[in-house]
Every structure is written in C-alpha cells, then in structure tokens.
Amino acid sequence: MELISENRAFGGRHLRYTHDAKSTNCSMTFAIYLPPFASAEKPVPVLYWLSGLTCNDQNFMQKAGAMKLAAELGMAIVAPDTSPRGEGVPDNENGAYDFGLGAGFYVDATQTPWKAHYQMYSYVTEELPSDVEQHFPVTKERAISGHSMGGHGALVAGLRNPNRYVSVSAFSPVSNPSDCPWGQKALSQYLGDEQSAWDEYDAAKIIASKNHAIPLLVEQGNSDEFLSEQLKPLALVQAAQQSDTQLTLNMHEGYDHSYFFIASFIEDHLEFHAGHLGLI
C-alpha cells in the first residue's frame, strides 16, 4: 500500500491509500478514518461506506461530518472509490455520469469490455476488507452503509453476506435497479440482458426472496429529485412485507439528495451500527 495523505481529525487519523487490487486489475484508492487509541492491542470495528454516482473516496469523508462521533464511539470508517480508474480502464463513450468511471454500481461485470476491471462487488466485499484487516488495527466486525448508488451497493452487499456484516443502512438508495433508468442502463451493460443476473444485485428482489435477519435502516428525503423515477424506496417496504423482513424506512419532509441530508442524519446511522457492533 502507498500512503497518499494523512490528516489529524478529532484525535484520530484520516488516511488515503492506493493499492494494487487483484479483483479490479488496477490500482484502487480508499480512505480510512482511525479513531483515537486504535492500535494492534485495541483494534476497532469498521463501518464501510459506499458512495454514489460521480463520487470517490473523499466525498463522504469531507462532507458527512461523521468523524467526531466515530472518534467518540471508537469506530473506524473505510470509504473506497466508486469504480476502477486509470490507464486501460474503459469508460462510456459519451461521458455520461451514470455509467463507467465513477459509476461501477458495485457489481461484478460479466460483459466485455467491463469485466476485466469492473469487479466492484468482489472488491468491496472481499478484497478491500481483507487488505484493511491485514494492514490496520481493526477487527473483523463490520457494518456497511452508503448513499444512492452506494446505498444500493450497501444493501446488496449486506443482504447477500449476512455473515460478513452485522448491520446495513442506506441513504436514498437505488432500491430497485431493475426498474429504474440508472439501474437498467448499468445492469444491462455490465451484466447483459439476462434478467436473472440483475436480480442478484437488486435489493428489493433480494429482500422479497426470503426472510432476512440482518438489521436494515434506510433514510430518504421526500424532496429528493430522484425519488420517484430512480430510487423507489417503497419497493423495499413492499419486499420486506412480502418476506416478513424487518426494515426501517424513515421519510423526511423537505430533504433532498445532497450531503446536507446525509450530514443531518449520519449520527443516527453511526449509533445504529455502533449498537450492533457492540460499541454502545
């Protein structure tokens, strides 16, 4: 791993690294916040944060205002990039923001040319946690959260891997990507036209398929400009009712899709995860 930068924050450390990732076949960047007193003798649990379209590892770290409470709770936070990048990594031809670089959708692509690098599901659920646990003073206790495209990624990762994560939360997630323009565009090109392949990365369909015991918390603003066309959180509610899965969806009057919304409620999510990580 190569250290890019280090900053002190609330007695802890915010660090940025690059590392050679086998899953994505390129160099990947991630950020980690280590709370005060995290050490080999006293490792801490980790909240993994997955960001949304056009974002990278820095959006959450700089805008969410999560570090102060994370420091108090004794919780590390890891934020990966949102796609592979670099020379030889393909991008969409017309420069659209919702597919290609910055828009990996946290799937393992099966279609050419994307499959050579766009293995973001394996990266965030397997390779990145393994590397983080090898190189930093953290435990194997993990929670996962995210926003928008990253909310979709967090829900899918947590629901498919209840043995890897103790809790899952999301802000304004793409809840039913098989049934929205963002999701259809990404899934069809990364995974092909076979709908059964899409179902593996559709949180609403995963929830509906069986009862899930992992704790689920979703936050959504009702003034979100993407609410009705792209996000469709009620699909999660209907799926949870179908499978008798416990899901908390909090709707908030007047809030939009921005980091102002995330910053307003991030402490609630940190405390939610801290409870399941045994920190409170």
Q: What CATH code is carried by the domain that includes residue 37? A: 3.40.50.1820
Among left, alpha and beta (phi > 0; psi -120 to 50; other), residue 193 is alpha
What total number of domains does the chain contain?
1
pLDDT digits (tens, 9 = 90+) for 123-169: 999 999 999 999 999 999 999 999 999 999 999 999 999 999 999 99
Q: For residue 199, indicate whether it is catalytic.
A: no
* Longest CA–CA separation in the chain, Å: 51
Boundaries of domain holding 269: 2-277
Residue 89, C-beta contacts closer than 8 angstroms, at least 6 positions apart: 26, 83, 101, 117
Q: Name the band, by pLDDT with cuts 50, 70 and 90, for residue 94.
A: confident
Let me know if 148 is a catalytic residue: yes
- Residue 41, pLDDT above cutoff 90: yes
- Give me the torsion for CA of 179, 51, 255, 68, rounded to 10°: 150
Residue 95: what pLDDT? 81
Please pick, among 23, 148, 169, 175, the residue that the annotation labels catalytic: 148
How far apart CA 30 and CA 254 sit, in angstroms, is 32
Question: Does residue 147 have an active-site annotation?
Answer: no
* Residue from 81, 61, 74, 80 nearest 139 by CA: 74
Average pLDDT over residues 223-244: 98
Q: Which of 212, 257, 269, 273 is catalytic?
A: 257
